[in-house]
Structure 1
């Protein structure tokens, strides 16, 4: 019997590898021209990632009474692993939206396929081909996510119990992405707008709904799901706030993206919202203008990023974000402990919370 708990990451990778092979074989045979696109998706999914969402889902299932030695464990593994395909869709499309050149130290999908176009000397615009290919490959990831979930070897009532969380998550991640680009387009630099994006785009999609999905697959009721949702809401926002700090201060060799890319892409994070608010309150007009000018400047230099970092520290925005992360982590854990989960789920979720909120620069 596999020890799923002890090496969950490896079992998730196995499930993803097996499914991507099965899903890709018919289309590769029927239309070999499409094979590079299917291969690119498989490489993207299997080439890295923390498997954070399926891990939360697995421990939601375990905490709600799921038996890792029972007959449904392999089916649940496949169902929760399918979350990685939703994540692949979100990341591939996110890179298109943000015009990102690299992810995990490699060219993004749209850049790679633009390079393929240029290398072969095909007709038309290489950039347009790369963007179109990335949109379609992201769509393929979303379609295959639904296939992987629906085909999980679980009793129909079990899958049906998980469907509400699954449907909500797919809608919420797209709504959160739209809210993010809308906020950038309107230039809304308020603290409230930044937190709305954090709650919908990250908290719901990264922590809340995966936990909800796992617990629902185990047949949990509101007495378990409600405190898990509260835990996920707080932890998810804390996770995003840590990610915001890493987006400005992080080491590219750790984050997989160039430092300052969030600034260049115009992301209206809570960190920047607080920085501009505090600069205004403290009468630091020059610092406020420097922050405003940096947001959305695609030519932002490393020296300008260093200036933004210093301003965010000096006005107290970094300290306030750190305080909020700690506060959210504490309140989230209080909700987790109210859920009275089966062992060892509470300990594992506590460990995940620490890893998600205490990542270093």
Structure 2
């Protein structure tokens, strides 16, 4: 974490992750008894196995950490509903990953096969079956994410409030996915449009929803604070998305001051090959001229784009100072998010506010 996050906070964050992973495993173990399975179906148990594999395989559990730390803004006591809220938000994440990998035709996710490609291997020559099963697997994860809240051991009013945040967030995330596809239809998407896509597609469910649900579970009405929470979520989301896009174009950043090397979740250049007009790709398109611009446009959307061409695009980007400008923007948004969190001190516990103030700089500190 950021250098200002002390050892006790790091230990607490690790504890959130460890306890959640154990709880997530128990949840999947109990699924067969939580709803009726069509017997003697083999496909349904296999679907649950694939969802479990993807869900348990990795990820930073940022949403889980944010959820528990949001409750600490109000109290250090254990509060009902947090565990179920964490399960629900991570199941919604699984739903999104399964469908995202179908949309992107992505073979890899979290160091292993995507659910879609796992089915494609199991049903060679039956593409429609593989596609249908993958879509349904994502749907199942989404429906399970709401069911777990309905069954939470928490007061009815809290369950309903958490479910309201969850379903609103799910709808906004799908809207963001639709806008994400629209982004790639623009020759040079406006940067504000990219910010909006990031806000809806990722920031609202990865940051705003955990913050809101954590406060709800702790007994705080988040409604008066929605604007400040949203500002923070949007700024962190933009900084993180810019970093991911920069990572895909230029490769792992390497080691920052005392930081571990970054590890990519997908192959470098995947955005170019898939024709995604991300923050980094947009910056290259805006900077390139003449033959360089034509080369970038020709490479966009070519799944067989040679590594040599990708390297040439990186050279064009570096020569135009794209990498430096992106890193400056990543840092600026992170610093603005930290300042936003610092303004929360009149409302919540100072120790918990400090965690949110320090968090945005974590990925920035990993850049050289």
TM-score by length of 1: 0.88
8 Å contact kept, 2:17–2:64:
no
Structure 1 residues 107-186: aligned runs within 5 Å: 107-118=113-124, 125-186=125-186
Q: Which of residues 26, 49, 60 in structure 2 aligns to 1:18?
A: 26
Change (3 A) 1:312 1:157: same
Residues 148-157 or 92-101, more deviating: 148-157
Q: How far apart, CA to CA, are the structure 2 residues paired with 1:294 and 1:13?
A: 40
The reply on whether 1:309 has 2:314 as its aligned counterpart is: yes
8 Å contact kept, 1:203–1:240:
no
Change (3 A) 1:84 1:95: same
Change (3 A) 1:293 1:191: farther
Secondary structure (helix, strand or coil) at the match of 1:255 reads: coil
The reply on whether 1:261 has 2:303 as its aligned counterpart is: no
Q: 1:111: Cα distance to partner?
A: 1.3
Secondary structure (helix, strand or coil) at the match of 1:192 reads: helix
Q: How far apart, CA to CA, are the structure 1 residues paired with 2:156 and 2:98?
A: 31
Q: How far apart, CA to CA, are the structure 2 residues paired with 1:245 and 1:48?
A: 22
The reply on whether 1:325 has 2:330 as its aligned counterpart is: yes
Residues 186-195 or 311-320, more deviating: 186-195
Structure 1 residues 1-361: aligned runs within 5 Å: 7-25=15-33, 26-28=35-37, 30-33=39-42, 34-63=44-73, 65-67=74-76, 69-72=77-80, 75-118=81-124, 125-218=125-218, 219-222=220-223, 224-251=225-252, 254-279=263-288, 284-340=289-345, 341-360=348-367
Residues 159-168 or 8-17, more deviating: 159-168
Secondary structure (helix, strand or coil) at the match of 2:24 reads: helix
Q: 1:159: Cα distance to partner?
A: 2.4
Gaps of 5+ in 1: 119-124
Q: How far apart, CA to CA, are the structure 2 residues paired with 1:186 and 1:275?
A: 15
8 Å contact kept, 1:209–1:229:
no
Q: How far apart, CA to CA, are the structure 2 residues paired with 1:103 and 1:5?
A: 24
Q: How far apart, CA to CA, are the structure 1 residues paired with 2:79 and 2:185?
A: 50
8 Å contact kept, 2:183–2:193:
yes
Q: How far apart, CA to CA, are the structure 1 residues paired with 2:118 and 2:52?
A: 14
8 Å contact kept, 2:287–2:317:
no
Q: How far apart, CA to CA, are the structure 2 residues paired with 1:253 and 1:225?
A: 32
Change (3 A) 1:14 1:306: same
1:121 aligned residue: none
Gaps of 5+ in 2: 1-10, 253-260
8 Å contact kept, 1:105–1:253:
no
Change (3 A) 1:253 1:36: farther
Residues 75-84 or 156-165, more deviating: 156-165
8 Å contact kept, 2:249–2:271:
yes
TM-score by length of 2: 0.86
Q: How many residues align?
A: 345
Q: 1:103: Cα distance to partner?
A: 1.6
Q: How far apart, CA to CA, are the structure 1 residues paired with 2:14 and 2:284?
A: 42
Secondary structure (helix, strand or coil) at the match of 2:360 reads: helix
8 Å contact kept, 1:27–1:35:
no
Q: 1:44: Cα distance to partner?
A: 0.8
Residues 324-333 or 215-224, more deviating: 215-224
Q: 1:38: Cα distance to partner?
A: 0.8
Give the CA RMSD over aligned residues: 2.3
Q: Deviations over 1:72-111 (max 9, x none)?
A: 2xx3122123211111111111111111111223221111
Q: How far apart, CA to CA, are the structure 2 residues paired with 1:150 and 1:187?
A: 44
2:255 aligned residue: none
